[in-house]
Structure 1
Amino acid sequence: MTHDPHGWTALVLAGQRPGVDPVAAHFGLEAKALMPVAGELMLGRVLMALADTPQVARIIVLAQNTLKLKAHPDLAWAVEEPRITFQVSGPTISGSVLAAVNDPAIGLPVLVTTADNVMLTPATLAEFIAGAGSSDVSVAMVERARLEAAVGPNRRTWLTFKGGAYTGANLFALTAPAARNALTFWERVEQDRKSVLRLASHFGPVLMAKLLLRRMTVHEALAAAGTKLGASAAPVLLSDGRMGVDVDKVEDHALAERLLTARN
């Protein structure tokens, strides 16, 4: 497989948020990224999907403890792979991504994903990259009906707009310098990410009212949010409903195992 040498840089967020991660703790592990799912490390699955995607020129794993990740025998292949490097991340996710984007050796365009995005495949990455062309920031999302058709009813953080409910797919594209404005904003609001109300409050009362009353489609809402951020923003709606599943809870791990076993 030939890779585009001028292609995308993928940043894989493989660090730990402050405090104990409930999923890692359940399995007696310190690092969530090193948790196996259906016989493969979560981080290994994500790195393999990226390494098998021709549009991805290089992959940077960001984590607080890169030595622990690199020492794992199941990641020996990744340590040997010339396109994959491991970098120590900063204290916040957005700050770490911003530092990478501002590094002249990295620059743009950049894909951002997470070590627990275990349903990721080269086909989904190609679909997302194809859809991420026209805006500064692209956000991968999965429609609720599509996810439930693929995996059954599911507890997720659902964002409800005019025309449907959506969940994020832990996949972002930053393609233009204005994307830095979005990262700077995200650094300010990151702690509110799980509360739709608190997150919406950062965008001002008019946009918040329209969101609460479901007056906007997902495309209109992201476009309006982007205007506030000083960057154009658009969703890329993924066709694989399983992409709405990441491993945030113990029951997510069981679901991911079931889906991956079925796929294999």
Structure 2
Amino acid sequence: MTAAAPLEKKAGLTALVLAGSRGPDDPMARAFAVPHKALIAVGGVPMLLRVITALGAAPEIARIVVIIEAPELVHALPGLGLAANGKPVETFPAAGSPSRSVVAALARYPTPLVITTADHALLQPEWLRYFLAAVPDDADAALALARSEIVLAEMPDTRRTWLRFSEGAYSGCNLFYFASPKALALAELWRHVEALRKRPVAMLRLLGWGYALRYRLGWLRLSSALARLGALADGAKAAAVEMPFARAAVDVDKPADKELVERLLAADRLST
């Protein structure tokens, strides 16, 4: 594997926060009686504000862009300036899905970019620093993953979506790094796959039947999957960074996730 670049080369970054909503019928927003899922309070603090606070405390981040349909909700957040640590907070219109929003944002904001989500309520600056330091210098894009052994050792009852490769099972950590303009091709591939999510045969045809079969049987290596994605994205080089932080795999997609996050935060308070 190519060595990671010195962290000094990954400074002055723009961070995109994906905060798109499913609209007024979003089940999480309805469940917690808020106008937008990103405003759900976790430990008494809106999730979006928690994410902005973590990004504001990360020295590598120079600007924060929240991708959302309702920019007024961002600017009305209490303590926004303090949370952002003086860094500018901008909004950009969501485009209907995460992949479409990223593709649209790439036309406005040049790489390199860090991307995370508004429901990444436990995000910590040290996770971001570790991730950026570990991204290989020759990668056009990278994503953060956590092994199931690490996640389940701390949270044995958590229910996560596992990506199962021959090396083991991984959970996504809602952290991405788009290093170069070539990452646009990966974002376009993501958009294409997302558009095919209700047409599994077409999706399998796009990705390749052999790769799909090997994945189904547990024979596909993570490195082979990344190489295949790169080949489908005009030769862009995709990389994965294994995170040693179990909580990095937790986002708040359902009420049980919120309960888990609040239990973890309460345990932290008791231990200090």
Normalising by structure 1, we get a TM-score of 0.89
- Partner Cα separation in structure 1 for residue 164 and residue 202 of structure 2: 15
Conserved? CA contact 2:127–2:245, under 8 Å: yes
C-alpha RMSD of the superposition: 2.5
Matching of residue 25 in structure 1 with residue 26 in structure 2: no
After TM superposition, the structure 1 stretch with the greater mean CA deviation from structure 2, 192-201 or 21-30, is: 192-201
CA distance in 2, matches of 1:197, 1:76: 48
Q: Does 1:117 align with 2:120?
A: yes
**Pairing 1:57–2:62 present:** yes
Shift of 1:199: 5.4
d(CA) in 1 for partners of 2:126, 2:53: 12
Alignment of 1:1-264 (within 5 A): 7-18=12-23, 20-75=25-80, 77=82, 81-103=86-108, 106-133=109-136, 134-191=138-195, 200-230=204-234, 231-264=236-269
User: How far does residue 195 in structure 1 lie from its aligned partner after superposition?
Assistant: 10
Instruction: State whether residues 47 and 78 of structure 1, in contact with CA within 8 Å, keep that contact through their aligned partners in structure 2.
Output: yes
- SS at structure 2 position matched to 1:73: coil
Q: Name the CA shift for 1:6/1:144 in 2 (closer, same or farther; >3 Å).
A: closer
* Compared CA separation, residues 139 and 196, structure 1 to 2 (3 A): farther
Contact 1:61–1:87, Cα closer than 8 Å, also in 2: yes
CA distance in 1, matches of 2:161, 2:133: 26
Q: Which moved more, 1:111-120 or 1:151-160?
A: 151-160
Q: Is the 8 A contact 1:79 1:85 kept in 2?
A: no
Contact 1:118 1:246 in 2 (8 A): yes
Counterparts of 1:79 and 1:127 in 2: how far apart (Å)? 20
Number of equivalent positions: 260
Q: Kindly tell me: are residues 198 and 77 of structure 1, through their superposed partners in 2, closer, same or farther at Cα, counting changes over 3 Å?
A: farther
Report how far residue 57 of structure 1 moved: 1.5
TM-score computed with the length of structure 2 as normaliser? 0.87
Change (3 A) 1:242 1:192: farther
For 2:3, the equivalent position in structure 1 comes to none
Report the alpha carbon displacement of residue 162 of structure 1 after superposing the two structures with TM. Answer: 0.4
Q: Which runs of 5+ in 2 are unaligned?
A: 1-7
Cα–Cα, structure 1 residues 114 and 192, in superposed 2: closer, same or farther, change >3 Å? farther
Superposition deviation, residue 191 in structure 1: 4.7
SS at match of 2:219: coil
